[in-house]
Amino acid sequence: MNPAGLPEQLRRAWAIAKKDIRLYYAKNSVLVFGILMPVFLFLAFFTGSRQLPLAFLIPGLVGTALLFTATAISPAIFSWEGRHGTLERLASCPVTTEAIVLGDMIASILYGIGITLITVFIGLALGLSLLHGITMIVSILLAACCFSAIGMLLAVPPTSEPSTPMMLSLLIKFPLIFISGIFIPLEQMPGWGLVLAVFSPLTYFTDLVRYSFIETHYFPVLIDISALALFTLVFTAGTMYLHKRTMPKRL
């Protein structure tokens, strides 16, 4: 991206984000995969795992909600745009590929933060106390950016079939839930499970949410934040680079 045109490209990225919110984030699929799915998973584990306290499960709901909402639509936006020919018109405008990707990411970040804040308020309504508000805010912002970048990474393979990246998204999100300490405490995981958990950004976000609510955490808070920030930088840089390379194949 040309540094001289950076402010203008950011303005155009924001315009793309507003377009995405208006056109895509009111779809039924967002409601199903982004909101109802985390709630149903939470209810299933809550009714079947009475030995786990609500104070442990609510942070899991917050983590699952952010993961699902931030990746609910972003994997399929490029496919929808390509199928309807709007991506070609967008690419013909004076806007860089990075700005297009950033606009899609901003939309999913805002949507993910909005829905996640609702789950935080649910936890507060059920009697939990927010002991570390700043940590909660920082972790939600970082995780929203990280999960949005993951969603855009899933959209890298050029295809006009939205179902392809959406299926790939589900194949990745469900394993992440079960290896990230969402519903199974990390202390109870076998050694191989902990090894896998280390490579999941959802692990660190959930750990930070639990610390924010009940001051219980597996990793030191600084490690959680640093790992989440590193994942965010790597995934964002990766999605920008790969989309720039695959964009010509979509046109």
**In the structure, what pLDDT confidence band is assigned to residue 4 with cuts at 50, 70 and 90?**
very low
Per the CB < 8 A criterion, the answer to whether 113 and 62 are in contact is: no
Mean pLDDT of the chain: 84
- 37-46, 51-60, 157-166, 191-200: segment of lowest average pLDDT: 37-46
More confident residue, 211 or 39: 211
> Do 1 and 9 touch, CB atoms closer than 8 A?
yes
What is the model's pLDDT at position 219? Answer: 92
Mean of the pLDDT values across residues 156-169?
A: 77
pLDDT tens per residue, range 30-62: 666 666 777 777 776 666 655 677 788 889 889
The Cα 237–Cα 230 span in angstroms is 11
Task: Kindly tell me if the per-residue pLDDT of 3 is higher than 50.
Answer: no
Residue 11 CA to residue 171 CA, distance in Å, equals 34
Query: In the chain, what percentage of residues exceed pLDDT 90?
Result: 30
pLDDT digits (tens, 9 = 90+) for 170-181: 888 888 888 898
pTM: 0.88
Q: Where are the domains of the chain?
A: 3-250
Pairwise CA distance, residues 63 & 70, whole Å:
11
Residue 51 pLDDT: 66
